[in-house]
Amino acid sequence: MAIYKRGNKYTIQVRINVGTGYNPEYVRKYATADTHKEAKAIENELLYKVQNDLLEKGDKIRISDYLDSWLQRREKSVTKNTYSSYLNAVRRCQKIIKNKKINTYLNEFKGREAQAFMDGLYELGHKPATNKDTYTAIKSALDVAWKNELIRRNFIAIQDTPRLEAYKTPKHLNYDEQKAFLGLLEDMMNKYDFNNRWSKYKKTKGSKNFLYTQNHAYFNLALSTGMRRGELVALNWSDIDFDNATLDINKSWVRAKSGEEYMSSTKNKSPRTIFLTDKDLALLKSYKNYLAKIQLEFSLRFNKDIIFPSIETGEYTNPNDISKRFNYYRKELGLDITPHGLRHTHISNLLNIGVPLISVSNRAGHKNMETTARVYAGLIKPRDNSEHLNYMNQITDLQNQTS
């Protein structure tokens, strides 16, 4: 409870809990008075009603205030990147509410207001995916309001969901491009130039060779496992079971838009275990021996459990640095692809040799099989046995290329 003087008026602010049980959710209600004495009387009345749960809620909360309180609650239950996405979505909601003059109370946000909101959404001119994120945010917020009996119906939920653009077949490498990429990784790793180094790395003359060797291991593993960039950067040696040829994927190293870096769960918060090939195991063992050797040779101190340590800090590598390194190989080969395209390539390889969709989905760490089918629909085509056999022989050749 608080009283503020604004101009010739007094503003009374009260914080109301509109949540239930162990899930408190607070919004603020305001009232005005001409004198401080009147303001104090209103404050006492509001305090009594709040303490005795006598204050009406849904008809005392403006939609804009409610969205702010919903956002505050979400901040405590989601990752930083997800919260950032929600924050931007709510800001767009607030802009629409202002533009369309939907300055209404929560329980007055009905069909006409919902339609005005949707009109305002499309008037912002954002991409379809952004429109859907905005729609999802306000729909989720009003779902909570409905569950807490603040509104009788979620009128946003009955509006047509913004359509996304049709999925295009993800960019991936064909057989010849994969062969050229793996060959270039091998060539650059073996091209040891003691007197040359990447300009930003000045700790040791061998730093350029270290980066090429690390790139060789990183990008080979990316192509062979389909792991996401952050999942690869977060890998520890303790995640690998060399005896059973398995790899536990249970975390991701994230670089937020703010520049902050931190460890997070996997994208869908679902850890998974995948099998490694003999080539993967041989590559990792060789790379592990190389790390031990270079640390002794140049007195470097790496975190012993990190598979892809930064040469500057010895800790986890900035994911953006991985993308910058990949650009060298991409430009050298004239490829139109990002590091995430290696994940698409791996999934494409699996689908082309006839691996069941459910197995591909599990290995990729997708939320469900429908996600895999939707994103990679252009790659799921009927093939006869000879086509599968031909592609399988090509992939086997790739796996043996750098063994």
* Domain range annotation of the chain: 2-147, 175-401
Parts of the chain with a pLDDT under 70:
1, 16-29, 46-60, 166-167, 192-208, 380-403
Each residue of 235-265: pLDDT tens digit?
999 999 999 999 999 999 988 777 788 888 8
Q: Which fold has domain 2-147?
A: DNA polymerase; domain 1 (1.10.150)
pLDDT at 199: 40
187 burial level (CB within 10 Å; 0-12, 13-18, 19+)? exposed
pLDDT at 102: 92
Helix or strand (DSSP H, E) at 2: strand 2-6
pLDDT at 34: 84
Each residue of 158-182: pLDDT tens digit?
998 888 776 677 899 999 999 999 9
pLDDT at 167: 65
pLDDT at 235: 96
Q: Which CATH superfamily is domain 175-401 in?
A: Intergrase catalytic core (1.10.443.10)
Q: Can you give the three-state secondary structure of 230-282, one letter per residue?
A: HHHHCCEHHHEECCCCEEEECCEEEECCCCCEEEECCCCCCCEEEECCHHHHH
Task: Give the residue from 193, 189, 185, 266 showing the smallest Cα distance to 221.
Answer: 185
Structure tokens at 114: 């919902």
Phi first, then psi: what are they for 169, rounded to 5°?
-60, 125
Backbone dihedral region for residue 237 (phi beyond 0: left; psi -120 to 50: alpha; all else: beta): alpha
Backbone dihedral region for residue 245 (phi beyond 0: left; psi -120 to 50: alpha; all else: beta): left
Q: In what order do the strands lie in the sheet with 272-275?
A: 240-241, 246-249, 272-275
pLDDT at 363: 93
Residue 393 to residue 380: CA distance in whole angstroms: 19
Structure tokens at 303: 């975190």
Give pTM, 2 decimals: 0.67
Structure tokens at 366: 């997708």
Q: Is the dihedral of CA 15, 69, 8, 31 positive or negative?
A: negative
